[in-house]
Structure 1
Amino acid sequence: MTQAKVGLAIGDRVLGEDGYLVVVQFGRHTVMFETSVGARREVPYNEIKGVPVCDGRATPVIAALEPWWSGLSAPIRRDALDKLEVVMEVLSGYRAGFARFAQPGEPYSNVSDPGLSETRRCEAMARQLAFERESDRQVLRRVAHGELQSAGVGASTVQTWIRAWRAEGLRGLVDKRATKGRRGFDELDERVREIADDVLARFDGDISKVNTTTIEADIRLQMKADGLSDVVLPQRLFQEYLSERQRALGRSTRAQRSRHLRRKASAHTSFPAMHPSHVAIDATRADVLVWDELRERPVSVEILTAISVATRVVVGLRVTPRSGNALEAGLLLYDVMRPMSMLVDGTTVDDWRWCGVPESLDLSEVAVHRSPKRIIPPGQSLQGVHHKPGVRPSSIRCDHGSVFLSEHFIALLRDFGIDLMLSRGSKPTDNPHVERWHETLQRAYQQLPGYKGRNVAERGRKVDATGDKLLTAPELERHLRRFVALDYHRSWHEGLVLPGAPSARLTPLEMWDAMHEVTGRLHVPQHPDLIYQFLPIRWLTIGHAGVEYKNLVYDAPVLAEFRDVRRGAFQADSRKAPFHYDPRDVSRIWFRHPDTGRIHEIPWKARHLLDMPMGDWMHERALARIAERGGNTALNRKSTWRQIIAELGQLTSAEETAEARAKGYAARLRWEQAQRDHAEAAEAAAMFDGDQDGVVTPLRRRRAEADDGFDLDAEWPDYDEVGD
């Protein structure tokens, strides 16, 4: 129960151990109180606490009552205060205990007549209480149900209350039957519990086990040394505490040793993610099938997700082939760093678009008290722009997956100064936020055709029994990103708690903005060429015919001034220059101009003749097929590119093993993703240079053909007949 602020003035009442006290004088360090029997008592200011009572108001109490008084339920406290009024009226004539607080009709002569004995006054009070209870329907109902024998209160009961008050004060008026069995260990002095915990912590299996009496003796000796010899210990409760703690240690030294080691290896507290830049990432198999348009068959994909732990905002999400690689993990980090937006116009919803640092994320004026779980803030609708914030991570939490431990991914973290925090093996609780997100994804999957359930127990006999057309992998990614922007980011998240307002219901974006009040604007790298910092680098020599890499020759006009570059211009004792290389699309490489710092695309010379996916895997397979047919001895310089194109055409149309088909689909899916990523970067660069309309979308195509860049229904051309 939280402490409340209260004000005190001369004549105010304060609840103390022996009942109500009245403020009569304020001192420099203390307050002078008067008791109901006329005695004076000084109490320091720091021992007066404000505690909410059952009617919602705050009342001041003496610290000696806490936390015992606040730990009682409201009905028990109300019952004790009612008994206190009875005792005060019998002894003083006034229910409040003081004449200055007299209520109408007080004092009643038959109850408080000083000429009557205390026994007679108790009998009169018992008759008055019986009359009051006969009109109390709740009491009569309890009598009818057998909970009470009668509605009246006997004179002996009133006398018992008076004796209990004189002996124990307010504590004596609390019904012991109502609190029996509810005493918690918090009634023990906190300092004593700390000493006991320190003494018991020594039993880690290295020292012999001793009995409870010896442990208690050690605790009492330490209490005496710390000056706590006057602390009263409830013996029975203290013995229960020691027994419970000993049971937790283990019955034998071997058990104590095992539990000690397990505690050392376990996390007792959560990672203190108090900044939106603490990010957790993970990969999971999508519980929905997607459609392979080329071979017309369903396939499985994976979902890579990055979540800001402190705010639960999904800052990055990608659909990857089975299984994701180090490059895709790095590109997920690229998505995390760049803010993006989504436009809803009527029934049209576009994909994520490049944008600068968003300035419209401040939702501080939006009320956060929501009743339904899934909300739309007042005055808002789904129409308009929805932002996905970006952040430069300060730490990454992930498991020991090979993609996260790869040299490429570790190098990216090192370049950006990001701490890598690895979860322990077989400990999914080390990264619970992403694991819980995987369950949330079920809401996005379940309305899609091809949903196959979270596990085999939920899977139907025919996953595609609905007959609906399956989504492709790009369509699934688009669907999930829309789910994040329009549903998840706008819904109340039960795991978000705002300090100082624990009952406030917050959405992830509202928590993000609340943290902006503390962290300020989060600066992230915002440049259209940002993606190329996440691609591998190849050191190649620029010749008069261009740049050769893996039997492919690349060239562009921008390389003209570097064809005769001196040694050491880019690399010590070498004429090689750095080129960015994307294994998903080897039909081009990228060169960063040393003077301007801008990225320039360097295409493969025969790229204009290629109308099919050409990723690293496809290219390597084509070279392997050429080697099987005689290698370079069977080729001349002018016909090499023709043979590569011919072999690529055969690879895309030949019937191969299931493994080869899966790798072929993965290569094509990665190639398509590369087209979107680089098209988006190119349009962002155009916007950066002022040559574009200000809208950047990865779905915009340079070519006017089908969205995927080639006609899936058409037969592959016979490249053997090209250019002979």
Structure 2
Amino acid sequence: MTTLEIGAKLLSTDGYLVVTALRRHTVSVEGSAGERQDLAYDEISAIAIQDGRADATLTALQPWWSGLPNAVRRNALDRLEVVLEVLTGYRWGSARLAQPGEPHPPFGDSEMSIHSRCVEMARQLSYEQSVDRNVLRRVQDGELAAATVSPKTVNNWIRSWQTDGLRGLVDKRAVKSARGFAAIDERVRRIADDVLARFDGDISKVNTTTIEADIRLQMKAEGLADVVLPQRLFQEYLSERQRALGRNTRAQRSRHLRRKASAHTSFPAMHPSHIAIDATRADVLVWDELRERPVSVEILTAISVATRVVVGLRVTPRSGNALEAGLLLYDVMRPMTMLVEGTTVDDWRWCGVPESLDLSNVPVHRSPKRIVPPGQSLQGIHFKPGVRPSSIRCDHGSVFLSEHFIALLRDFGIDLMLSRGSKPTDNPHVERFHETLQRAYQAIPGFKGRNVAERGRKVDASGEALLTAAELERHLRRFVALDYHRSWHEGLVLPGAPSARLTPLEMWDAMHEVTGRLHVPQHPDLIYQFLPIRWLTIGHAGVEYKNLTYDAPVLADFRNVRKGTFQADSRKAPFHYDPRDVSRIWFRRPDTGRIHEIPWKARHWLDMPMGDWMHERALSRIAERGGNAALNRKSTWRQIIAELGQLTSAEETAEARAKGYAARLRWEQAQRDHAEAAEAAAMFDGDQDGVVTPLRPLRAEGDDGFDIDAEWPDYDEDGD
């Protein structure tokens, strides 16, 4: 705080003012020339000046004066004292502010010319600088040419003060800043930015001269040819913009993607039902048992973003399709268990017997006591929780944008949240889990590394047999249940306890205490809600689809339904269709809601995988042999069977072999899925022991347990 009193000095644009009187509304001041004026109190700013040489300043000097560096302000005040002493004989410009001994001769002598006073002041200043070590050091370092001040310099200070006041005494070189790019015409900068925006890594890098030529051509096209460009500043602008793009095309591409996909906020996943899904190539080879060769597969993963629990995982052929993406969603919705007994670990399976058609009142076991803590025994049941997703985060893959997958999301009321293009970090949680899978891959034969730099000369150098796709899926699910779900996840932070170490399942339980549950009706027929529907007409011979006829006793009551029973103005009925296994379709009775399998009539003739791809290949081969005219109802079955045999045994191209393996792998997955659902249905009907084991054969009605394919014993002549 500065005290304003009579005799205090004020710094103004014209020099120092001295306070002569303090009135109610104004302050009377006197200038160096004796002029008097009254100032309002709000015209005075209470800011102390350097070394107490000014008690306050006028508001007119702010904020310019306060924004100057201290050294610049001190230098300007030194020059002001020189100017005022030359003109008035007093360093502060007023006899009221006279210092001891002022005025010093020859200053204050009105008979002496201004030039003579400037010569005398220059002599004094030169002497002061000659004994100032700081000035001499600057001369020695080359900052100053000499330690003297010329009379012309002093005269120039006086002229600058008379013209611009205090502003004229500020050293312009000390406050001179670099010329900003704003000096370049805004229209020219826009054109330059548009030209430079093309360099996103897709086109080759060119030099600055070529870029400037393109800019000037565009300026001419827009009528800006007469705009004057500061050449040096413009070259600096282009160089700076090019540096920001990247030094090569690879850097330009990377920076372009980062700029395009930058985000300022994260997705607030506050509920376990926020699911992220993605597909990735497995970094391990699997074994094709039929052709006895290694092949690659993909991993479809669904992860709860808020808890990091893996709620779905499937091994699929490359590349996964929309049906498999829908079945991954099926895995997300059903709770499953994994039992460890001794050294035996089973597959994920249904946890418990459904008590009713709607199992929403049956709780999913989630007690932390059931989760085996690290360091203790693994024996017992491990749970994979199920949840109905409220949102799905995925990329723009064709399988996730397919009509079938989007229809499933619409039916279940699930929001589809697509990542932005070229932005894999929009889905970082599942991408990071792909790295975690490396621990699972490295524990089995056939690991090939994440890239060629990590790959050995022989992937199968260990000599161990590769796993099949089904075995790989079991291995990964075991890894998730017994390792990943029980390990500390650094990305899980509990509010209020940031140092707490949480596993994904523990975070799941903690969140469900607050959020509650999104129940899914756990009916054994749930899987059929994820299969496509075909509308077919039920006739006396059954149902015909793609030249195949399906029939079962359950259709007897629906062979002569009236129009509109299932579909408006039509006698067609809905059938669930699995492209992975076309040897059967499924029909849901409207009166009971139960699913019934409708087999292909000639299914007993075929003992090999029959998926949609193989069926289509068979039909195409038949068409090549004679077209539609060569086909009829009586010959179709036998021809398809014959062609399927040829397809299996014939030498095919690499692409055909890959498609054939994919078709067989999908068929095997279909057998596991439907066998599991059939056994769960048998449990529902009370015909089983309450344990669902994938691919455990069901005993048909009238089966006496005799296996005709088993090895027969040798009998002697007496029948013993």
Secondary structure of 1:320's match?
strand
- Alpha-carbon separation, structure 2, partners of 1:264 and 1:475: 41
Q: List runs of 5+ in structure 2 lacking aligned partners.
A: 1-184, 190-238, 246-251, 353-361, 701-708, 710-720
Tell me whether 1:348 sits opposite 2:344 in the alignment: yes
Tell me whether 1:417 sits opposite 2:413 in the alignment: yes
Q: Which amino acid aligns with 1:570?
A: F
Tell me whether 1:376 sits opposite 2:381 in the alignment: no
Equivalent residue, structure 1, for 2:398: 402
- Alpha-carbon separation, structure 1, partners of 2:323 and 2:614: 17
Secondary structure of 2:591's match?
coil
Q: Which moved more, 1:694-703 or 1:658-667?
A: 694-703
Report the CA distance between 1:699 and its aligned residue: 3.3
Q: How does 1:604-643 map to 2 (within 5 A)?
A: 604-643=600-639
Q: How does 1:188-587 map to 2 (within 5 A)?
A: 266-356=262-352, 359-363=364-368, 376-377=373-374, 380-587=376-583
Q: Which amino acid aligns with 1:416?
A: F
Q: Which amino acid aligns with 2:401?
A: L
Equivalent residue, structure 2, for 1:119: none
- Would the alpha carbon gap of residues 359 and 418 (structure 1) be closer, same or farther in structure 2, given more than 3 Å must change? closer
Answer yes or no: is the 8 Å Cα contact 1:546–1:555 preserved in 2.
yes
Q: CA RMSD in A?
A: 2.9
Answer yes or no: is the 8 Å Cα contact 2:261–2:421 preserved in 1.
no
- Alpha-carbon separation, structure 2, partners of 1:699 and 1:596: 26
- Alpha-carbon separation, structure 2, partners of 1:291 and 1:538: 34
The match for 2:658 among 659, 662, 666 is 662
- Alpha-carbon separation, structure 1, partners of 2:688 and 2:512: 32
Report the CA distance between 1:208 and its aligned residue: 13
- Would the alpha carbon gap of residues 207 and 362 (structure 1) be closer, same or farther in structure 2, given more than 3 Å must change? farther
Normalising by structure 1, report the TM-score.
0.60
Q: Which moved more, 1:661-670 or 1:268-277?
A: 268-277
Secondary structure of 1:420's match?
strand
Answer yes or no: is the 8 Å Cα contact 2:486–2:505 preserved in 1.
yes
- Would the alpha carbon gap of residues 497 and 565 (structure 1) be closer, same or farther in structure 2, given more than 3 Å must change? same
Answer yes or no: is the 8 Å Cα contact 1:301–1:319 preserved in 2.
yes
Q: Which amino acid aligns with 2:585?
A: I
Answer yes or no: is the 8 Å Cα contact 2:611–2:663 preserved in 1.
yes
Q: Which amino acid aligns with 1:351?
A: D
- Alpha-carbon separation, structure 2, partners of 1:261 and 1:343: 46
Matched residue count: 454
Equivalent residue, structure 1, for 2:642: 646
- Would the alpha carbon gap of residues 558 and 260 (structure 1) be closer, same or farther in structure 2, given more than 3 Å must change? closer
Secondary structure of 1:629's match?
helix
Answer yes or no: is the 8 Å Cα contact 1:319–1:473 preserved in 2.
yes
Report the CA distance between 1:467 and its aligned residue: 1.1
- Alpha-carbon separation, structure 2, partners of 1:264 and 1:457: 29
Q: Which amino acid aligns with 2:366?
A: L
Q: List runs of 5+ in structure 1 lacking aligned partners.
A: 1-204, 210-249, 367-374, 705-710, 712-724
Q: Which amino acid aligns with 1:419?
A: D
- Would the alpha carbon gap of residues 446 and 642 (structure 1) be closer, same or farther in structure 2, given more than 3 Å must change? same
Report the CA distance between 1:637 and its aligned residue: 2.3
Q: Which amino acid aligns with 1:376?
A: P
Answer yes or no: is the 8 Å Cα contact 1:303–1:318 preserved in 2.
yes
Report the CA distance between 1:266 and its aligned residue: 2.1
Answer yes or no: is the 8 Å Cα contact 1:588–1:603 preserved in 2.
yes
- Alpha-carbon separation, structure 1, partners of 2:591 and 2:561: 14
Equivalent residue, structure 2, for 1:680: 676
Answer yes or no: is the 8 Å Cα contact 2:448–2:455 preserved in 1.
yes
Q: Which amino acid aligns with 1:363?
A: P
Deviation track 1:202-260 (CA, whole Å, cap 9, x = no partner) reads: xxx99999xxxxxxxxxxxxxxxxxxxxxxxxxxxxxxxxxxxxxxxx989x999x999
- Would the alpha carbon gap of residues 624 and 479 (structure 1) be closer, same or farther in structure 2, given more than 3 Å must change? same
- Alpha-carbon separation, structure 1, partners of 2:582 and 2:340: 35
Secondary structure of 2:368's match?
coil
Secondary structure of 1:305's match?
strand
Report the CA distance between 1:362 and its aligned residue: 1.7
Deviation track 1:634-662 (CA, whole Å, cap 9, x = no partner) reads: 34422321111111111111111000000
Runs of 4 or more, structure 1, over 6 Å off, are: 205-209, 258-264
Equivalent residue, structure 2, for 1:112: none
- Alpha-carbon separation, structure 2, partners of 1:429 and 1:359: 32
Answer yes or no: is the 8 Å Cα contact 2:671–2:695 preserved in 1.
no
Answer yes or no: is the 8 Å Cα contact 1:339–1:358 preserved in 2.
no
Deviation track 1:417-439 (CA, whole Å, cap 9, x = no partner) reads: 11111111111110100110010
Q: Which amino acid aligns with 2:612?
A: D
Secondary structure of 2:586's match?
strand
Secondary structure of 2:511's match?
helix
- Would the alpha carbon gap of residues 665 and 471 (structure 1) be closer, same or farther in structure 2, given more than 3 Å must change? same
Report the CA distance between 1:540 and its aligned residue: 0.4
- Would the alpha carbon gap of residues 362 and 625 (structure 1) be closer, same or farther in structure 2, given more than 3 Å must change? same
Answer yes or no: is the 8 Å Cα contact 2:542–2:551 preserved in 1.
yes
- Would the alpha carbon gap of residues 359 and 624 (structure 1) be closer, same or farther in structure 2, given more than 3 Å must change? closer
Q: Which amino acid aligns with 1:525?
A: P
Deviation track 1:440-468 (CA, whole Å, cap 9, x = no partner) reads: 00000002111100100000111111111
- Would the alpha carbon gap of residues 535 and 637 (structure 1) be closer, same or farther in structure 2, given more than 3 Å must change? same
Report the CA distance between 1:570 and its aligned residue: 0.6
- Would the alpha carbon gap of residues 585 and 365 (structure 1) be closer, same or farther in structure 2, given more than 3 Å must change? closer
